[in-house]
Amino acid sequence: MNYEEYINIINLYRDKEVTREEFNNRILEITNTLTSPLKEFYVINSYFGNYYVPKDYRNYLYSNSLAILESDKIHIEDKNKIKCALINAYFSDCNYEMAETYANDLLSEFSNDVKILKDLASYYTKTRRYNLAENLYKNIINLNQNDIIMNDYESFQRVINRKQKPYLPLSEENREKYYEFMNYLGIQVEKRKKQPEKIKIDDYPVPIEHLEADFDSFVAFDVETTGIDHTMDSITEIAAIKVVNGQIVEEKEFLFQELVHPYKKRIPKNVEELTCITNEMVKDAKRIWEVFPKFVNFVGNNILLGYNCMTFDSKFLVRARRLSNLVINNEYFDVLHMARKHKEQIDSKSMTLVQVGKTLGIENSQAHRALADAITTAKIYLSLKKLK
pLDDT single digits (tens) 71-99: 999 999 999 999 999 999 999 999 999 99
pLDDT single digits (tens) 252-264: 999 999 999 999 8
Angle at 59 between CA 181 and CA 108, to 5 degrees: 50
* Start-end of H helices in the chain: 3-14, 20-30, 38-46, 58-70, 76-92, 96-108, 114-126, 130-142, 150-160, 172-185, 269-275, 279-282, 288-299, 313-324, 335-341, 343-346, 353-359, 370-385
pLDDT higher than 70, residue 146: no
Q: Are 376 and 339 a contacting pair, CB within 8 Å?
A: no
SS3 254: helix
Q: Are 347 and 219 a contacting pair, CB within 8 Å?
A: no
DSSP class of residue 73 equals S
**Smallest Cα–Cα separation from 292: which of 267, 263, 323?**
323
Rounded Cα gap, residues 316 and 331, in angstroms: 15
Region 319-345: mean pLDDT is 93
Rounded Cα gap, residues 305 and 385, in angstroms: 13
Burial 219-231 (b: 16+ CB within 10 A, else e): bbbbbbbbeeebe
Query: Is the four-CA dihedral 176, 180, 181, 182 of positive or negative sign?
Result: positive
Rounded Cα gap, residues 275 and 202, in angstroms: 32
Q: Are 309 and 240 a contacting pair, CB within 8 Å?
A: no
Query: Within 13 Å of residue 177, how many CA atoms lie on the same side as its CB?
Result: 15
pLDDT higher than 90, residue 170: no
Query: Is the four-CA dihedral 281, 285, 291, 295 of positive or negative sign?
Result: negative
Question: At residue 196, what is the residue type?
Answer: P
SS3 71: coil
Question: At residue 133, what is the residue type?
Answer: A
Phi, psi of 130 (to 5 degrees): -70, -30
Q: What is the pLDDT at residue 148? A: 67
Q: What is the pLDDT at residue 111? A: 79
**Smallest Cα–Cα separation from 184: which of 101, 121, 97, 120?**
97
SS3 94: coil
Rounded Cα gap, residues 83 and 111, in angstroms: 12
Rounded Cα gap, residues 126 and 117, in angstroms: 14
Domains of the chain, start order: 34-185 (1.25.40), 202-385 (3.30.420.10)
| Top-confidence residue, 87 or 388 | 87
Burial 167-196 (b: 16+ CB within 10 A, else e): eebeeeeebebbbebbeeeeeebeeeeeee
Q: With bands split at pLDDT 50, 70 and 90, how would you rate the model's confidence at 203? A: confident
What are the angstrom distances between the C-alpha of 99 and each of 23, 59, 374?
A: 29, 15, 50
Q: Tell me the percentage of the chain whose pLDDT exceeds 70.
A: 99
Long-range contacts of 59-67 (CB under 8 A, 24+ apart): 61/85, 61/86, 61/89, 62/86, 62/89, 64/37, 64/40, 67/36, 67/37, 67/40
**Smallest Cα–Cα separation from 45: which of 19, 21, 77?**
77
* Neighbouring-strand partners of residue 305: 220, 333
Q: What is the pLDDT at residue 388? A: 66
pLDDT single digits (tens) 38-72: 999 999 999 887 788 888 889 999 999 999 999 99
Rounded Cα gap, residues 240 and 222, in angstroms: 6
Q: What is the pLDDT at residue 296? A: 95
Rounded Cα gap, residues 30 and 46, in angstroms: 11
